[in-house]
């Protein structure tokens, strides 16, 4: 069961990233242990010094894809998503606190920026937000993460065939190159 769960988890990352429009290419998917991770999906590390919000949200959807795949295929969770959740939380926090993305979902007044009390405030090492702003930031981060999870779930529910194909291939072969992944996704493998 563990091996199947790891295969599904890694397939979820790759499929969600592809369907969400993540611009980084899947280079390899492996079920071999890498450090603390029991499996890994390696994407190209193209430097994007100025990522758009849509690019960042696609990365979040890909990060959530592993846990969502476990949920959909096994109706059970493992601890395998812990580092994915940590990375996603760090990224969503940067989006809200440093890059002026996201908004307070409970804001009554959206203000000029559309972000409510968050306005154009950015957290720096020397400036701490007020209690109200910190609470709004927490809500905005949570909303971004919840949205990424919901989108990952919708994408995988719409393409269970792709998730099954990639997960099955991984389970059988234990490793998949980026070319094999693309061939499987486009139906030529």
Give the Cβ contact number of residue 98 at 10 Å: 11
Residue 10: active-site member: yes
Q: How far apart are CA 84 and CA 27, in angstroms?
A: 18
Q: How far apart are CA 65 and CA 136, in angstroms?
A: 26
| Stretch (H or E) spanning 4 | helix 2-20
In the chain, DSSP assigns E strands to 26-30, 40-43, 175-177
Q: How far apart are CA 169 and CA 87, in angstroms?
A: 27
Q: Which two tokens stand for residue 161?
A: 């065939």
Residue 144 is given by DSSP the state: H
Which one is catalytic: 10, 22, 71, 180? Answer: 10
Could you list the active site residues? Answer: 10
């Amino acid at each position: 069961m563990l091996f199947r769960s790891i295969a599904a988890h890694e397939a979820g990352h790759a499929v969600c990233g592809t369907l969400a429009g993540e611009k980084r290419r899947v280079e390899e998917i492996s079920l071999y242990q890498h450090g603390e991770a029991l499996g890994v999906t390696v994407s190209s590390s193209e430097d994007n010094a100025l990522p758009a919000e849509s690019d960042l949200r696609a990365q979040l959807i890909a990060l959530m894809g592993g846990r969502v795949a476990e949920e959909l295929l096994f109706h059970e969770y493992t601890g395998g998503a812990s580092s994915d959740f940590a990375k996603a939380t760090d990224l969503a926090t940067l989006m809200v606190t440093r890059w002026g993305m996201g908004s307070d979902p409970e804001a009554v007044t959206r203000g000029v920026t559309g972000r409510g009390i968050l306005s154009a405030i950015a957290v720096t090492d020397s400036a701490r937000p007020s209690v109200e702003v910190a609470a709004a930031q927490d809500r905005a981060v949570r909303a971004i993460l919840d949205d990424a999870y919901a989108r990952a779930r919708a994408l995988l529910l719409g393409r269970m065939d792709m998730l099954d194909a990639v997960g099955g291939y991984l389970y059988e072969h234990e490793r998949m190159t980026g070319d094999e992944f693309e061939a499987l996704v486009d139906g030529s493998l």
